[in-house]
């Protein structure tokens, strides 16, 4: 989702404040939410103008706050359109994050088979 410069700055200030409150370095925060340190730097400086729900969700959980508070209302857990797949996709995302490379290749092979069967 693209956000305005002012919203990016507001989110940046909140992420920085929460990280410092927890006593984490940018590198520790990046490891905790499984992203690069440069992503954390871009988020905290407000230069990251394209922001993902999944990353904000991880940061909000790590910082023990709500995604709505962290993103100044840009994202709201309850307001996301849910056609029954949102929660399932979030759970899949969390499961894949914990997998090793070899395990991910197995998942990729399975997904490719499903796609082939559907003729996509």
- Which pLDDT tens digits describe the chain residue by residue (120 residues)? 778 888 888 889 999 998 998 899 999 999 888 889 999 999 999 888 777 777 888 888 888 888 888 888 888 765 455 555 556 666 676 777 777 777 777 777 777 777 777 765
pTM for this one? 0.60
**Cα distances (angstroms) measured from residue 4 to each of 9, 36, 51, 115:** 9, 23, 11, 37
Residue 39 resides in a domain = yes
How many domains does the chain contain in total?
Answer: 2
Does one domain contain both 65 and 90?
A: no
CA angle 50/55/60 to nearest 5° reads: 120
Residue 14 resides in a domain = yes
Does one domain contain both 10 and 53?
A: yes
Evaluate whether 36 touches 30 at the Cβ level (below 8 Å): yes
Does one domain contain both 18 and 46?
A: yes
Residue 80 resides in a domain = no
Does one domain contain both 11 and 65?
A: yes
Does one domain contain both 9 and 46?
A: yes
Does one domain contain both 11 and 61?
A: yes
Residue range(s) defining the domain that contains residue 93: 86-118
Does one domain contain both 66 and 9?
A: yes
Residue 81 resides in a domain = no
Does one domain contain both 14 and 58?
A: yes
């Amino acid at each position: 989702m693209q956000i305005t410069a002012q919203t990016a700055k507001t989110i940046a200030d909140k992420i920085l404040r929460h990280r410092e409150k927890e006593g984490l370095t940018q590198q520790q925060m990046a490891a905790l939410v499984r992203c690069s340190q440069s992503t954390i730097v871009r988020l905290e400086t407000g230069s990251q103008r394209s922001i993902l729900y999944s990353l904000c969700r991880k940061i909000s959980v790590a910082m023990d706050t709500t995604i709505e508070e962290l993103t100044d209302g840009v994202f709201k857990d309850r307001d996301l359109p849910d056609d029954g797949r949102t929660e399932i996709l979030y759970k899949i995302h969390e499961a894949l994050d914990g997998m090793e490379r070899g395990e991910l290749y197995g998942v990729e092979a399975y997904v490719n088979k499903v796609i082939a069967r559907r003729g996509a």
